[in-house]
Amino acid sequence: MNSVEGVAIASRGGAPSIFLRNITKAFGETIALSDVSLDLRAGEVHALLGENGAGKTTLMKILYGLSQPDSGQIEADGVVLKIESPRDARAAGIGMVTQHFSLVKNMTVIENIALASAKTFAIDLAKVRAEIVAASARFGLDVPPDAVIASLPIALQQRVEILKALMSGCSYLILDEPTAVLGPNDIDSLLEVIRRLRSDAGIGIVLISHKMAEIEKVADRVSVLRRGQVVSSSLANGITSKELVTLMVGEQQSGAEQRQRSASPSQSPILVLESVGVSREAGGLSDISFTVRPGEILGIAGVSGNGQTELVNVLSGTTQIDSGTITVEGHQLGSNTPQSLMRAGVGILGEDRHASAVHALQVVENLILDCVEKFAGKFQLRRKEMLNHCESAITQFEIKANPKQAFGTLSGGNMQKVLLARLFSRKPKVAIISQPTRGLDVMATNYVRSLIAQASKQGTAVVLVSEDLDEILELADRVAVMYRGSVVGIVDHTAASRESIGELMAGIAK
Ligand SMILES: Nc1ncnc2c1ncn2[C@@H]1O[C@H](COP(=O)(O)OP(=O)(O)O)[C@@H](O)[C@H]1O
Ligand SMILES: [Mg+2]
């Protein structure tokens, strides 16, 4: 076989067109990919699934020339491609939108696209504009050509990235977890774009995602990576979501069960917010009212940036309210300080697990950070008791760490378990839990969700703030939707159709 540089791939008609053959790649001790083979076809959406660390990004970076394999090769229609850089990949018709966008933030859409497609120094911006308009129309990807990238919401920046790749003439497009940064309605439009690229333009798409619902909607073919190996590759309609999850995580544990919801408890609410408002300078919240009963999980849904973070700040006492009231167990708080909330029995799991702990401190120290007084001896901390406390938390919460390990060296899932252990071992009456599974793999996600369900079963009132609507629908009894700093609707789980929540999130329902 010949090795040629930059072969344009023009084959159509569903024939296998790109073969990744026996790709192996190690990073030091870590074997990221072990003898992986994968076929990509033109005009097909190929979903690539796998837990965090399975090797998906590494494999696609190799295809796009961002990384070199230790062994193995890439072929197009029987010819070995030499892909040593993204430039080689693009010349071979392969484009990629990586998780971290590569747009120049302080330049406009036009300038970014012109830069990417420039073959000479003389750039004809008027011509590029016309090309953008034509390509936007052709692919259903509207972008504002003159907008500066930094001023665009993430969904639009992503569209620019996709358009940029398409305009460089790719016939294969790799999208690495494109929906992770999007709200539900933007996800739907992206999936529509993907369908269109496949059906109207015959583009072969690799879609990396953790989310079964998305795979079900658009994938023609699904491959699952686990620990650097392909464990399954099949037509999408030949395999169920349940089977895919089992393949992803192995046999031990598959998809999370729906939480058992008991009939609506008649107990009176333990947490009551009434017309809570926060000044514009402090984030801008207005007229937030809701109640949570013991044992109930109230989900807070919303596209990111609609006041969820500010609401959590209010409930952790880091942002003061300037109107309305917060009542815990019938007692109205004079002011919402961290101390008054904690004394009232409100515990927090913040959205940023790194900010909630001290990386350099040991697990055992991080576990007691918010109740140091409990372990204070006459002159120093009672180390032995701290260790006992830590060891029982490690067992109870299935934390894979030893007590003296620095917190910063733990995996995301184990960090989260430490923080949940810290939260729940205080036995809070109300737990405010924000983005608990962001960035975690399927196993850790399921475990964290089961901990939340368990706490509610034991009577804790939970406020669950999450950008993952599936997570909210899986766990919550009721769902409050935030939009532009207000709660625009509260929907019962039973009546909580995804669409009505989606409409509330987009601000189009009233
Ligand atoms: N540049 C790198 N240096 C060291 N290890 C890496 C590097 N990139 C990826 N890895 C490791 O390779 C494995 C696969 O990672 P990745 O391809 O990012 O997985 P995925 O995209 O499926 O989450 C992981 O164990 C990861 O820690
Ligand atoms: Mg990845």
For residue 380, is pLDDT > 90?
no
Could you tell me if 243 and 281 lie in one domain?
Answer: no
Dihedral angle at the C-alpha atoms of 111, 116, 118, 124, nearest 10 degrees?
Answer: -20
**Helix, strand, or coil (residue 384):** helix
257 domain-assigned: no
So what's the pLDDT on residue 410? 87
Could you tell me if 204 and 284 lie in one domain?
Answer: no
CA distance 223 to 232: 5
Distance between Cα 384 and ligand 1 center (Å)? 38
**Highest-scoring range by mean pLDDT, 324-328, 352-356, 438-442, 502-506:** 324-328
- From 58, 68, 210, 248, the mutation candidate for ligand 1 (largest count of ligand atoms within 8 A of CB) is 58
Q: For the chain, what is the radius of gyration of the CA atoms? A: 25
Could you tell me if 240 and 277 lie in one domain?
Answer: no
Are 309 and 351 a contacting pair, CB within 8 Å? Answer: yes
User: Residue-wise over 66-83: b if at least 16 C-beta within 10 A, else e?
Assistant: bbebeebbbbbeeebbbb
Q: Is 56 in the pocket of ligand 1 (CB under 6 A)?
A: yes
**Please, what is the average pLDDT of the chain?**
87
Could you tell me if 337 and 446 lie in one domain?
Answer: yes
pTM reported for the whole predicted model: 0.64
Lowest mean pLDDT across 11-15, 147-151, 164-168, 247-251 = 11-15
Within 10 angstroms of residue 336's Cβ, the number of other Cβ atoms is 22
Q: Is 62 in the pocket of ligand 1 (CB under 6 A)?
A: no
pLDDT per position as a tens digit, 436-449: 998 787 788 889 99
| Alpha-carbon 482 to chain mean position | 19
Q: Is 30 in the pocket of ligand 1 (CB under 6 A)?
A: yes
Q: Is 54 in the pocket of ligand 1 (CB under 6 A)?
A: yes
399 domain-assigned: no
Atom 26 in ligand 1: residue holding the nearest Cα:
53
pLDDT per position as a tens digit, 126-168: 889 999 999 999 888 999 999 999 999 889 999 999 999 999 8
Give me the helix-helix angle, 109-117 and 154-167, nearest 10°. Answer: 30
Distance between Cα 32 and ligand 1 center (Å)? 6
Q: Is 52 in the pocket of ligand 1 (CB under 6 A)?
A: yes
Q: Report the pLDDT averaged over residues 364-375.
A: 83
Could you tell me if 78 and 199 lie in one domain?
Answer: yes
Atom of ligand 1 nearest to the CA of 28: 4
Q: Which of 188, 216, 249 is the last residue of a domain?
A: 249
63 domain-assigned: yes
What domain range is 20 assigned to? 3-99+171-249
**What is the count of structural domains for the chain?**
2
Q: Report the pLDDT averaged over residues 210-228.
A: 89
Backbone angles phi, psi at 459, to 5 degrees: 105, -5
Distance between Cα 176 and ligand 2 center (Å)? 7
Using CB atoms within 10 A of its CB, is residue 44 exposed (0-12), middle (13-18) or buried (19+)?
A: buried
Could you tell me if 222 and 300 lie in one domain?
Answer: no
Longest dimension (CA), the chain: 78
Atom 24 in ligand 1: residue holding the nearest Cα:
53
Closest ligand to the CA of 228 = 1
458 domain-assigned: yes
Sign of CA dihedral 143, 149, 151, 153: positive
pLDDT per position as a tens digit, 126-135: 889 999 999 9
For residue 338, is pLDDT > 90?
yes
So what's the pLDDT on residue 83? 96
Closest CA to 427 of 455, 453, 463, 385: 455
Lowest mean pLDDT across 66-70, 208-212, 260-264, 364-368 = 260-264
Atom 11 in ligand 1: residue holding the nearest Cα:
32
CA distance 400 to 259: 25
Could you tell me if 9 and 88 lie in one domain?
Answer: yes
More confident residue, 93 or 52: 93
Could you tell me if 53 and 9 lie in one domain?
Answer: yes
Q: Which two tokens stand for residue 386?
A: 């701290």
Q: Is 412 in the pocket of ligand 1 (CB under 6 A)?
A: no
Q: Which of 249, 279, 307 is the last residue of a domain?
A: 249
Could you tell me if 322 and 201 lie in one domain?
Answer: no
For residue 186, is pLDDT > 60?
yes
pLDDT per position as a tens digit, 271-282: 999 999 999 888
Q: Is 409 in the pocket of ligand 1 (CB under 6 A)?
A: no
124 domain-assigned: no
Atom 17 in ligand 1: residue holding the nearest Cα:
55
pLDDT per position as a tens digit, 478-506: 999 998 899 999 998 876 667 778 778 77
Determine what percent of the chain falls in helix, strand and coil, rounding each to the nearest 5.
Answer: 35, 25, 40
Atom 4 in ligand 1: residue holding the nearest Cα:
27
Q: What residues contact 250, with CB distance under 8 A and at least 6 apart?
A: 226
Are 473 and 496 a contacting pair, CB within 8 Å? Answer: yes
Q: Is 353 in the pocket of ligand 1 (CB under 6 A)?
A: no
User: SS3 letters for 196-256?
Assistant: HHHHHHCCEEEEECCCHHHHHHHCCEEEEEECCEEEEEEEHHHCCHHHHHHHHHCCCCCCC
Q: Is 34 in the pocket of ligand 1 (CB under 6 A)?
A: no
422 domain-assigned: no
Q: Please report, for the domain that includes residue 200, its CATH number.
A: 3.40.50.300
Closest ligand to the CA of 33 = 1
396 domain-assigned: no
Quickly state the pLDDT bin for 465 (edges 50, 70, 90).
very high
Atom of ligand 1 nearest to the CA of 208: 21
Atom of ligand 1 nearest to the CA of 176: 21
For residue 184, is pLDDT > 70?
yes
Quickly state the pLDDT bin for 461 (edges 50, 70, 90).
very high
Could you tell me if 310 and 175 lie in one domain?
Answer: no
Quickly state the pLDDT bin for 294 (edges 50, 70, 90).
very high
Closest ligand to the CA of 49 = 1
Q: Which two tokens stand for residue 228?
A: 């650097």
Distance between Cα 226 and ligand 1 center (Å)? 12
Closest CA to 76 of 165, 170, 197, 194: 170
Q: What's the order of all strands across the beta sheet hosting 331-332?
A: 285-292, 271-278, 323-328, 331-332
The percent of residues above 90 in pLDDT, for the chain, comes to: 58
Q: Is 428 in the pocket of ligand 1 (CB under 6 A)?
A: no
CA distance 416 to 424: 12
Could you tell me if 85 and 175 lie in one domain?
Answer: yes
370 domain-assigned: no
Closest CA to 157 of 98, 214, 86: 98
Could you tell me if 88 and 177 lie in one domain?
Answer: yes
Closest CA to 57 of 210, 183, 193, 204: 210
Atom 12 in ligand 1: residue holding the nearest Cα:
32
Atom of ligand 1 nearest to the CA of 54: 22
- From 20, 24, 27, the mutation candidate for ligand 1 (largest count of ligand atoms within 8 A of CB) is 27
